[in-house]
Chains A and B, each alone.
Chain A
Amino acid sequence: MATTQLNLTVRKPSNSVAVIDIHGEVTGAAETPLMSAYEEASHNGVRTVILNFSNLEYMNSSGIGLLVTLLIRVNRQKQRMFSYGLSDHYQQIFQLTRLNEAISIYPDETSALNAAG
């Protein structure tokens, strides 16, 4: 089994918002840590989950697939998923895969938190 070079931390700036800080690589090997981080983030009435990609080192196509399955889980919990910190390159990949139509992209944490309300 492939190993992952990924470190995820979960913060809760408010009762209704959780931020998942992504450090490292999002590949197929990231499934278990990413879903565990989401479980931790989505407890206790969280309405918006924000992914912080500021320290993303690499994401391959399996990583994009993981974001799709994560988004499905978020939608089923009637939550929203936002993101910030994406480089121009990864913003292009969101555009290529049309994930930008499902995950709102913000330039920084302040903008994402303001949008989360």
Chain B
Amino acid sequence: MSSTPPPSEKQKSSEQAWAKPSDRLNVEANMPAGSMNLNVQGRQLNNPLQGFGQMWQKTYRIKLIAPRVPATGKAATPQDIIAGWKANFPKFWPRGNNFYAPLTEIQPGEVAVLNLKGPGGMPLSTGVRVIYVDDEQFSFMTPQGHMFAGMITFSSEQEAGEVYAQVQALIRASDPAYEAFFKLGIIGKMEDEFWTATLNNLASYYGASGQVELKTQCVDPRWNWGAAKNIWHNAAMWSGIYTVTTPLRWIGKKVSGKK
């Protein structure tokens, strides 16, 4: 007879909320024609300790004034906000950035391919894995090669009768090249504009107004030199190489097709 006690409700809900560990990412998303599926398959996740640059906690928060559930018109609770956010996640991203996931709703364990506008407008293909989902928040971790090593958590809560939505990133630049762009203010500005636009789009979806506030905290001012070798996985570099060699691949296909 086993003496292991039955799992509690909290244990069960935790097991449903968390993704299962896997050594390497596996892309199952159907990628539309013209999209780039690079720098995700076979990569490992990196937590903030495994990146190179200074570590930052950036919190983007919006007070949603009079949010309403679009389908019913009733006042939206934090659970309604998260339900809508999970179901429509890619729709809230700024134009020109794409999130390709295998399912229509954010689910634990999903691997999504991201096609982003990188530094200088260059297309950048990278990804995320959904590591945690419950009724009030969900979180992503980034893979090797992403601009940032770390975790991003999307949440909603009620405070003093007001409903808030929040994006909180615990991140550091993945490698010295990204850190240089970050220090130049390029990547940080892109990140701030990206999540501000996302929260404004979320607010619009719920018919709410509000102002996004940003709180930035340096968690670790040091560089993690042991992670300098991460540059080998730099998704911007590999996406750039892929983009500039596209004509060569096209010619190669034509030539091989004639044979």
> Chain A interface (Cβ within 8 Å of chain B)?
1-2, 28, 57-62, 64-65, 68-69, 71-72, 76, 87, 89, 92-93, 95-99, 101-102
| Interface residue tally on B, bucketed by range | 35 or more
Mostly, the A contact residues are helix
Given the complex, which residues of A lie within 8 Å of B155, measured CB to CB?
A: 28, 62
Structural contact, A97 and B157, CB atoms closer than 8 A: no
Q: CA A17 – CA B151 in complex, angstroms?
A: 30
Are A68 and B131 closer than 8 Å at their CB atoms? no
Residues of chain B lying within 8 A (CB to CB) of residue A93 = 18, 21
CB of B49 within 8 A of CB of A71, answer yes
- Mostly, the B contact residues are strand
**Do B18 and A57 have beta carbons less than 8 Å apart?**
no
Known: A1-B159, A61-B137, A62-B153. A68 touches B170 (CB 8 A): yes
**Would you mind naming 23 contact pairs between A and B with Cβ atoms under 8 Å apart?**
A60-B137, A62-B139, A62-B155, A65-B151, A65-B153, A65-B170, A68-B151, A69-B170, A69-B219, A72-B49, A72-B219, A87-B11, A89-B14, A89-B18, A92-B18, A95-B21, A96-B19, A96-B21, A96-B22, A96-B45, A98-B50, A99-B49, A101-B49
Are the CB atoms of A89 and B15 closer together than 8 Å? Answer: yes
Docked complex Cα distance between A71 and B47 (Å):
12
* Residue ranges of B at the interface with A (Cβ–Cβ < 8 Å): 8, 10-11, 13-15, 17-22, 44-50, 55, 57, 131-132, 134, 137-139, 141, 151, 153, 155, 157, 159, 168, 170, 219-220
Chain B residues within 8 Å of A69, by CB: 57, 170, 219
